[in-house]
Amino acid sequence: MKYSSRFFLYAPFGLLVGLAIGVSVHWFSAANALSRYLDAANGHQIAPGVHFSFAKKQMAGFPFRLDVIADDLRIEAPGAHGPVQWRSEHFAMHMLDYGRVQAIFEAAGKQTLTWTDDNGKKQGLEFLPALLRASAIESGGKLSRFDLELIGAASPALSAANVQFHMRRDPDMDALDVAFNVDEIHLAPEFKSAFGPLISRIRLDAKIQTASALGDLLSGSRDWRAVAENWRKHSGVLDIDQLDVAWGKTDVLASGTLMLDSAHRTTGILGLEIAGYQTLAAEVARRGAVTGADKGLFSSLMDSAAQNSGASADRLPLQLGFKDGIAYIGQMPAGFVSALY
C-alpha cells in the first residue's frame, strides 16, 4: 500500500480522534470552571442582595452539555418589606458548552416560598409541581429573554393548573414585553372571597417602557431597589395592554398606565369593564358587607356601581386609580397602596 493511500485511510480516523480529545478537554475545562464557581458561590452573595446556597451538587452532561444537579437549593433576595426566599428540594440547570449563552432550569420535589408582608409578618407557601421549568437567554452580558412554566401546582392554600411568565427585550423599542397567564386557580375555603373559590384565568399583556434604565438589573450588577429608583427617575412606565381576570362569575377587563411616585407607590389609572357585577353585588349583600367611603374594595365597588349610569346588560365601566398612596374606584377611596421599596 502506498503512503498516500494510508494517509487517506488513517487521516479521517485521526481527525475524529483529535476532535473527540478536543471536545473532551473543552468539556472538562468548562465543567471544572463552573463547578469551582458554584462551590465558591455556595452560601454567599451572587448578585447585590441575592444569596445562593445548596446542600450538594453533581456535574453531568458530557460531552455537549453542562448539567448541574443540586439538592436543597436556596435563593434569597431582598423584598419590599423583608427577605424573600425560594427553596427547591431538587434543582437542575442545563447549558450548552458552546454557542449562545442559554440555560434551562428544572425544579422538582417540594418548593417553598417565604416572604414578609406589609405588617412585617413572615408568610409562606409550600407546593408540589407536576412540572416547573424555566429558560433564560443572555445577550451582551444582560438577560434578554426569560420564560417560566409551572404545571399542576398543589398546596393546602391553593392549586393551579398552569402558570406561565414570559419576558423579552423588545427588538423595536426601548421596552420589555411581559406576558403572564394563569389557568384554574382553586382557593382553599379560608382564602376565598366574595368572588368565589375559583379563578378561571388571569391574562396580562404589558410593556415596561424605558427598559434601558433596568440594564443593571438585567446584568445582575445592582440591587433591584436602586434599579427601580433609576427606572422611576427616567420616567419608567408600565403600559398594560390588557388584563383579563375571570374570578367566579365575574370577569374583569382592564388596561391603562401605571408608574411610581416619589414615595415609590403605584400611581396611574386603569380603565375597567366588569361583567357579572350584579352577581358579585348579590354575594356581597349576602355576606353583609358594609358600604361607604373607606370601607374597602367590595363596598367601594358596589357603591360606585349604584351611582354609575353607564352600566348596562350587567357590564359595569369604571376607573381604578392610584394617587398619593390611595386606591380609588371612580372618585371613591377603596384602600391604601404600600410603597414598593
User: 197-234: per-residue pLDDT in tens?
Assistant: 899 999 999 999 999 999 999 999 999 999 999 999 99
Residue that wins the pLDDT comparison between 313 and 62: 62
Q: Does the structure show a pLDDT above 70 at 310?
A: no
3-state SS, residue 247 = strand
Residue 144 included in any domain: yes
Side-chain half-sphere CA neighbours of 329 within 13 A: 26
User: What is the residue-averaged pLDDT of the chain?
Assistant: 88
pLDDT band, residue 115 (cuts 50/70/90):
very high
Residue 36: inside a domain: no
pLDDT confidence band for 118 (50 / 70 / 90): confident
pLDDT of residue 316: 84
Could you report the per-residue pLDDT of 66-106, keeping only the tens digit for each? 999 999 999 999 998 899 999 999 999 999 887 778 999 99
- Out of 138-147, 173-182, 263-272, 277-286, least confident range: 277-286
pLDDT value of position 290 = 47
Quick one: average pLDDT of 321-341? Answer: 90
| Assigned domain for 341 exists | no
Is residue 20 one of the residues assigned to a domain? no
What local confidence, expressed as pLDDT, does residue 287 receive? 60
For residue 247, being part of any structural domain is answered with yes
Per residue in 36-64, pLDDT (tens digit) is: 999 999 999 999 999 999 999 999 999 88
**198-229 burial by CB neighbour count: b if 16+ within 10 A, else e?**
ebbbbebbbbbbbbebbbbbbeeebbbbebbb
Residue 321: how many other CB atoms lie within 10 Å? 18
Of 100, 27, 101, 37, nearest in space to 66 by CA: 27
Residue 16 lies in a domain: no
Mean pLDDT in residue range 107-123: 93
pTM: 0.86
Is residue 200 assigned to a domain?
Answer: yes
SS3 content of the chain, % helix, strand, coil (to 5): 25, 50, 25
Owning domain of residue 310: 64-69+88-336
Q: Cα angle at 190 between 242 and 80, to 5 degrees?
A: 55
Q: Is residue 58 part of a domain?
A: no
The total domain count for the chain is 1
